[in-house]
Amino acid sequence: MSRLAPCLIASLVLGCGASPPSGSATPRTESGAGEVVGERACPCASESGAGCEASGTDTSTATRTCTNTRAEAVAEAEAEAEAVAEAEAVAEAEAEAVADADADAVAEAEAEAVAEADAVAVADADVVAGSAETSEGTRTSTRAEPAPASSADATALDPGAALSPAVIAHAREIASRRTRHEDVFIKVGDSATVNRAFMQCFSDDDEIALDGRDALRPLIDRVRATRVRGTDSFRRESRAAGVGWSVYRVLSGPSSALAEEVRAMSPRYALVMFGGNDVETGSLRRYESRMNELVDRLTRWGVVPILSTIPPRNDDPEADQQVPRFNAALRALADERRLPLVDLHAAMLAQPDRGLASDGVHPSAPVRGGRAHGCDLTAEGLEHGQNVRNLLNLQMIAALRAALAD
């Protein structure tokens, strides 16, 4: 047995320096062993140090060795206890996190179910009541999916001609909140909006074919003449539009992309089309909430939002089934908030391939000489989704511009 063994055993049982209980055996030495053996003694740390002296061991060294060994054992036991407690705390926190996540998922599902039930109830009530005037004189939409017009009749969907007095009055109210450039607009949306065939082509006369719509020429000229930060609204590469963007992306961050674009251009109008990527999540409730937030910000800043319904989808049947739900929510928002709406979806349904490019996602444009021509407003051009979108948005801006100037 080593010299330190009895020290360690006794220190853990009684503590070094403890006296043996009455009636216990008197410690004894083994001649020449250098050890004091006893069941309940700590001879190395005893006050007399007799056992250590008997073997010729230095008392102070033995006492320090025994004390250090006990301290190390205690520290190790405490560390092990702390490790166990920490592991239990981590396990408890993980269990609580899982429970919270499950609760959030259940709450979100319940809230979405309630919202969808409310939407169905409102739609059913509107179908029964038809279009009715509210106490403020605003029109309540039936929210039914509009019947598609033939491609020859696409221009009959001129949204400017259908502007209600309530929408015009509200647009004037919004415009009165802040001085802005009256012939400047910004583009807000996803990859369909980033596409050069959307509005940018109006900056080049060689790409424009108005096909008798000469009433739009003064607006085109004014927009091109109003340059902000070295560019006009047609040419501007918007900070508020990006490939793969949802509504959340344009609103997020301490200084959102939407705020940056408004500060940069100080526009009177915002052409807004979101939803192509939002339908992938299937969360209609989040889409409605975020679109309302987008509208809140724009109107607070004195910018008139021009909303657009989203195109159909030829690439994904499940996503295409979601499109009418999202468009119904968008029409309801436009009605309730008295905002101008371009119904692009209804215009595209009658077009070949429903106005979509070969990818089945983005609005199409005729390609000549390796370049898309979205500003061709001839009958042939209006067989394409992006061309109709350009026409409808240009008509809407022209109608609002005239109404605000009165």
Kindly state the tokens that stand for 42: 């700590």
3 residue type, one letter: R
**pLDDT of 58:** 52
pTM value is 0.65
Q: How far apart are CA 100 and CA 259, in angstroms?
A: 34
Q: Across residues 389-398, what is the average pLDDT?
A: 98
- Parse the chain into domains and list their residue ranges: 5-71, 133-405
Whether the per-residue pLDDT at 366 is higher than 80: the answer is yes
**pLDDT of 245:** 97
CA torsion sign for 220, 226, 231, 232 is: negative
Comparing 75-84, 98-107, 187-196, 390-399, the range with the smallest average pLDDT is: 98-107
The DSSP bridge pattern shows strands 28-29 and 36-37 to be antiparallel
Q: Across residues 237-248, what is the average pLDDT?
A: 97
Domain 133-405 in CATH 3.40.50.1110? The answer is yes
372 residue type, one letter: A
Angle formed by the axes of helices 284-300 and 317-337, nearest 10°: 40
Q: How far apart are CA 200 and CA 272, in angstroms?
A: 15
